[in-house]
Amino acid sequence: MLSTLKKLSLTVAMTTLLSIPAWAGELVINYDGSDPAPKKAFEEVIQKFETANPDIKVKWNIFDHEGYKTSIRNFLTANPPDVFSWYAANRMAPFVKAGLVEDVTDLWEKEGLNDAMASAADAMTIDSKKWGVPYTYYQWGIYYRKDLFDKHGIAVPTKWDEFLAACAKLKENGITPIAIGTKQTWTTGGVFDYINMRVNGYEVHKDLTAGKIKYTDPQIQKTFDHWDQLVKPGYFLENHATFTWQEALAPMVQGKAAMYIMGNFAVAPLKEAGLTNDQLGFFQFPEITPNIEQAEDAPTDTFHISSKAKNKEDARKFLAFLASPDVQTSVNKTLGQLPINKNASVDDDPFIKAGFEMLSKTKYLGQFYDRDADAEMAKAGMDGFQEYMIKPERREAILKQLDKVQEKVNSKQGS
């Protein structure tokens, strides 16, 4: 019965997908960049690739960004494209473990990517094999209103105490220190990642997301002690659970809030809403425990070959093309993000440059809470973080609940 169900869902998926079966010389690519910038960047890549390889005809399907996360499960099993876009680290693990992704370790060796993309090698590796090629990533950190900081005589904080003092001063002057919208709970993951990486360092953070450390561990408690110092005085935007992250940008644009802990993709909407480079700035999340090795969140977007691809030869060509310094430079210029290949060059944009400088000094790159942790754990974790940010007094109960979920997830993976 299960197999009939599978077959049924396959048929449905096949009829809904627009792609037609590939023949030799045709390369089918599924891509999730439905927003204007990613779409444009991708169109440029395809054009260049076809010019460089006149015998290959690329057939590409662009999916809605959110819808893609669901449809990938259908098309990978039912009607696999040759190449598909996805994310690094634990996010690709279910597909790798189900045998749906092609091992491209050979490509990494042949193209010298182990050296050129060393910073992302770890995130692309599962069971000491490489499973895809990264094409872009972006920094996380704190975006802030320079003009508000100047007006109230606040310098850019580099230490935790300075950061708390800045928050206190902003609050005194009737400005919300940190804007955040937690209607989609993933935004809380960024705050947690940073406080935890700054308090305990990358290794502890990695062990936590891998399920080796409990959430009630004293080290993680210390993370929450620091988070308390932001939550209890009310430094975050009020009623943040009502807003999506985009809606929470509004108070920042209106000058009612001064900082936003976010990824670089927040810059585009902030500027569209009217902020200029004179008003908007970026700084690294401040240091908490002194002399801890620097770690940052830098989610990496990737391309993979499906194991059932019909045209693996051309798919490898495409991945190699995508990994080359020139292509990485031009793609990321259009995307407004950072190239992975260390021989690529970055755009002039001040935020990109700031991100590039910061990340080039960084030893460890986290992918983001919901890409590093197991999916079920991530969902429970981010729900818990949101609850904690609204009801900080429930911290103990929440952390115990997270331990329970972690135990369940661990026992499943062990079996």
Partner 1 sequence: MTSSTNTQKTFWQRHRLTLTPWLFLLPGLVMFLLYVILPIFQSILISFYEWDGLTVAKYIGLANYHELWQDDAFYTSLKNNLIWLILYMLAIPAGLTIALFLNQTVFGIRLYKSLFFFPFVISQVVVGLVFAWFYDPSNGILAVIYQAFGGKPPAILADERYVTYGIIAAGLWPQIAYCMILYLTGLNNVAPEQIEAARLDGAKGFRMLWHVILPQLRPATFIAIVVTVIGALRSFDLISIMTQGGPYGSSRVLAYYMYETALSEYGYRMGYGAAIAVVLFLIMMVYISFFLWRMYQQEK
Q: Where along the sequence are the contacts to partner 1 (CB under 8 A)?
A: 1-2, 5, 66, 69-70, 73, 76-77, 94-95, 97-98, 100, 182-185, 238-242, 251, 370, 375-376, 378-379, 383-384, 386-387, 390, 401, 408, 412
Query: Kind and range of the H or E element at 21?
Result: none
Minimum distance from CB of 395 to partner 1 (Å)? 13
Q: Of the two residues 97 and 363, which places its CB atom closer to partner 1 in the complex?
A: 97
Minimum distance from CB of 1 to partner 1 (Å)? 5
Taking only Cα atoms into account, the Rg of the chain, rounded to an integer number of angstroms, comes to: 22
Minimum distance from CB of 115 to partner 1 (Å)? 33
Q: Of the two residues 240 and 316, which places its CB atom closer to partner 1 in the complex?
A: 240
Q: Distance between CA 263 and CA 260 in Å, rounded?
A: 9
User: SS3 letters for 62-125?
Assistant: ECCHHHHHHHHHHHHHHCCCCEEEEECHHHHHHHHHCCCECCCHHHHHHCCHHHHCHHHHHHHE
Helix, strand, coil shares of the chain, percent, nearest 5, are 55, 15, 30
Residue 296: both structure tokens together: 């940052």
Q: Distance between CA 336 and CA 339 in Å, rounded?
A: 10
Q: Of the two residues 3 and 291, which places its CB atom closer to partner 1 in the complex?
A: 3
> β-strand 26-31 against 57-62: which pairing, if any?
parallel
Minimum distance from CB of 26 to partner 1 (Å)? 26
Q: Of the two residues 114 and 242, which places its CB atom closer to partner 1 in the complex?
A: 242
Minimum distance from CB of 412 to partner 1 (Å)? 8
Minimum distance from CB of 18 to partner 1 (Å)? 21
Minimum distance from CB of 7 to partner 1 (Å)? 12
Q: Of the two residues 95 and 285, which places its CB atom closer to partner 1 in the complex?
A: 95
CB-based contact 136:340 (threshold 8 Å): yes
Report the first-to-last Cα separation within the chain, whole angstroms: 25
Minimum distance from CB of 9 to partner 1 (Å)? 8
Minimum distance from CB of 98 to partner 1 (Å)? 4
Please write down the long-range contacts of 12-20, taking CB distance under 8 Å and 24 or more positions apart.
12/74, 13/71, 13/74, 13/75, 13/77, 13/78, 13/79, 14/78, 14/79, 16/74, 17/61, 17/71, 17/74, 17/75, 17/78, 17/79, 18/61, 19/59, 19/61, 19/75, 19/79, 19/81, 20/59
Q: Of the two residues 296 and 370, which places its CB atom closer to partner 1 in the complex?
A: 370
CA 207 to the chain's CA centroid:
19
Minimum distance from CB of 357 to partner 1 (Å)? 33
Q: Of the two residues 24 and 98, which places its CB atom closer to partner 1 in the complex?
A: 98
Q: Of the two residues 44 and 103, which places its CB atom closer to partner 1 in the complex?
A: 103
**Which residue, among 331, 369, 332, 338, has the nearest Cα to 355 in the 3D structure?**
338
Q: Of the two residues 41 and 76, which places its CB atom closer to partner 1 in the complex?
A: 76
To 10 degrees, the CA torsion angle through 318, 320, 325, 326?
Answer: -30
Q: Of the two residues 151 and 404, which places its CB atom closer to partner 1 in the complex?
A: 404
CB-based contact 270:249 (threshold 8 Å): yes
